[in-house]
Amino acid sequence: MNIVLGVSGGIAAYKAVMVVRLLVEAGHDVQVVPTDDALRFVGKPTWEAISRHPVTTSVHENVAEVRHVALGQRADLVVVAPATANTLARMAAGIADSLLGTTLLATQAPVLVAPAMHTQMWQHPATQANVATLRARSVEFIGPDDGRLTGADSGPGRMSEPDQIAARAMEILARRTVKRDLMGVTLLVSAGGTREPIDPVRFIGNRSSGRQGVAIAAAAAARGAEVVLLAASIEEAILAEVVGCPEVRIERVWTAAELQNAADREAPGADVIVMAAAVSDYRVAEMRETKMRKEETAGTQLTLALIENPDILAGLVRSRRPGQLIVGFAAETAENQQALLELGRQKLARKGADLLAVNAVGWSQGFESAENTLYVLAAGGELVSTAGGSKREAADGLLDAIVPRLSRRVLSTAE
Ligand code: CTP
């Protein structure tokens, strides 16, 4: 696909070199359009070598090709990384006195912006107003992240990492090519592991990373769904895949009780519910208001009394409205696939969901990995699909199993 990468003048321009490289390696055609200022940070030869294309900044070069509009018209996506406060202001005002400016005005492609600037500049009302203007025009933002800036200072303003920018760019491109078979559908998905506090500094948690649930949210949004993501404990870098996506509303929760409240509140508006979160089955019977100290129990065995959490999925199934499709997850340790599916069938029968996505987990399987295989069981226990590959591919495979099971009412609104 054709990508234009606009680069403005900031130190983070050197990180944009890696963005180009990742996009080119993924098979995309990348035209770099630096501003004159950007060339003070990284010179033309670097951009030309890495993008394998000649690079110009001026609207007066190669006039015969009408380059000042051609680049924008041809583009499937325009990425601006880094975007300085000045560039954001120019974009918001529609200023076209550079090749990047004309390209941005001439394009109908989606635009992704990765801001980079000092915290004060980012937080300035003028910059925030420009960001709001651009967002209202459907420009997507990634970052800025919170972290070390150019000087000794740190705070929000640091450009997102190149791999995250490249991943988001490819996600936007994928959205342009994928089927839009979830238009008009509202999908509620929970993701990540819940945390049950023991005292103000400790909790009981689990190894779920939230990757699979976030991938389902991203894939459903790409296919046209309105997504509500109930995000339990998930690293920011994983959640970044959907932060800023206009189709995904994210609600943070920590405990099973918070997840249950949020799920009960959001469920009535959902056509599809996917419970991908790893919910703690138990919580501490008496949470301590102050930190537990070792002296209290030194030399003895410490016993934590736990009480059962409600089964959120089973509750959602009990109060489901007609036509609502409910999907559960089961992460199981099993000897082989047959045993895995048997555990899944038992769980499906207990929970009463319409579909159950079963995956194998173990000490070295399932959690941190970017790959997954989901065995999708239908209510009668039959295996209806095996969706494997990256967690995004597994997510799309699960959605492929969901779509034909959506009620006619939901699909007719989608058409
Ligand atoms: N789940 C839930 N509420 C709970 C526990 C689980 O909604 N308190 C949901 C999970 O989000 C998942 C499904 O139920 O979709 C299966 O979760 P799992 O922990 O495997 O099921 P359990 O019923 O807890 O069974 P197990 O004895 O295997 O832990």
Separation of CA 350 and ligand 1 centre (Å):
10
Atom 14 (ligand 1): residue with closest C-alpha? 313
Domain boundary, last residue among 157, 176, 195? 176
* One domain, residues 168 and 203: no
Quick: pLDDT tens for 332-354: 999 899 999 999 999 999 999 99
* One domain, residues 19 and 164: yes
CB of 232 closer than 6 A to ligand 1?
A: no
Domain boundary, last residue among 125, 158, 176? 176
CB of 356 closer than 6 A to ligand 1?
A: no
CB of 313 closer than 6 A to ligand 1?
A: yes
Atom 24 (ligand 1): residue with closest C-alpha? 281
CB of 329 closer than 6 A to ligand 1?
A: yes
* One domain, residues 94 and 130: yes
Residue 327 CA, closest ligand 1 atom number: 15
Cα–Cα distance measured from residue 23 to residue 20, given in angstroms and rounded to the nearest whole number: 5
181 in a structural domain: no
Question: To test ligand 1's pocket by mutation, which of 188, 274, 281 has the most ligand atoms within 8 angstroms of CB?
Answer: 281
More confident: 343 or 147: 343
CB count in 10 Å sphere of residue 383:
14
Atom 12 (ligand 1): residue with closest C-alpha? 329
Give the residues across from 79 on adjacent strands: 5, 112
pLDDT band at 410 (very low <50, low <70, confident <90, very high): low
Separation of CA 109 and ligand 1 centre (Å):
42
Cα–Cα distance measured from residue 47 to residue 195, given in angstroms and rounded to the nearest whole number: 46
- Once rounded to an integer, what is the mean pLDDT over residues 52-76? 80
pLDDT at residue 365 tops 80:
no
* One domain, residues 136 and 226: no
* One domain, residues 171 and 192: no
CB of 279 closer than 6 A to ligand 1?
A: yes
Quick: pLDDT tens for 262-296: 999 999 999 999 999 999 999 999 999 999 998 88
- Once rounded to an integer, what is the mean pLDDT over residues 216-229? 95
Angle at 246 between CA 90 and CA 386, to 5 degrees: 135
165 in a structural domain: yes
* One domain, residues 135 and 211: no
134 in a structural domain: yes
Separation of CA 313 and ligand 1 centre (Å):
7
The CATH number of whichever domain residue 372 belongs to comes to: 3.40.50.10300
pLDDT band at 178 (very low <50, low <70, confident <90, very high): confident
318 in a structural domain: yes
Domain boundary, last residue among 176, 210, 231? 176
pLDDT at residue 58 tops 80:
no
Separation of CA 327 and ligand 1 centre (Å):
12
pLDDT band at 389 (very low <50, low <70, confident <90, very high): confident
* One domain, residues 109 and 244: no
Nearest-Å Rg of the Cα atoms of the chain is 24
SS3 at position 184: coil
* One domain, residues 149 and 200: no
Separation of CA 289 and ligand 1 centre (Å):
28
Give the residues across from 316 on adjacent strands: none
pLDDT at residue 65 tops 70:
no
Separation of CA 279 and ligand 1 centre (Å):
6
- Once rounded to an integer, what is the mean pLDDT over residues 217-224? 94
DSSP 320-344: PPTT-EEEEEEEE--SSHHHHHHHH
Q: Provide the domain limits for residue 389.
A: 186-414
pLDDT at residue 156 tops 70:
yes
385 in a structural domain: yes
* One domain, residues 208 and 172: no
85 in a structural domain: yes
* One domain, residues 384 and 236: yes
Kindly list the catalytic residues: 206
66 in a structural domain: yes
Min mean pLDDT across 2-11, 91-100, 123-132, 173-182 is at: 173-182
* One domain, residues 122 and 197: no
Distances (CA, A) of 306 to 83, 117, 127, 196, 283: 50, 48, 49, 10, 5
The CATH number of whichever domain residue 34 belongs to comes to: 3.40.50.1950
pLDDT at residue 201 tops 60:
yes
107: CB partners within 8 A, 6+ apart: 4, 71, 72, 73, 75, 78
CB of 330 closer than 6 A to ligand 1?
A: yes
* One domain, residues 309 and 385: yes
Number of domains in the chain: 2
152 in a structural domain: yes
CB count in 10 Å sphere of residue 133:
16
CB of 358 closer than 6 A to ligand 1?
A: no
- Once rounded to an integer, what is the mean pLDDT over residues 158-166? 96
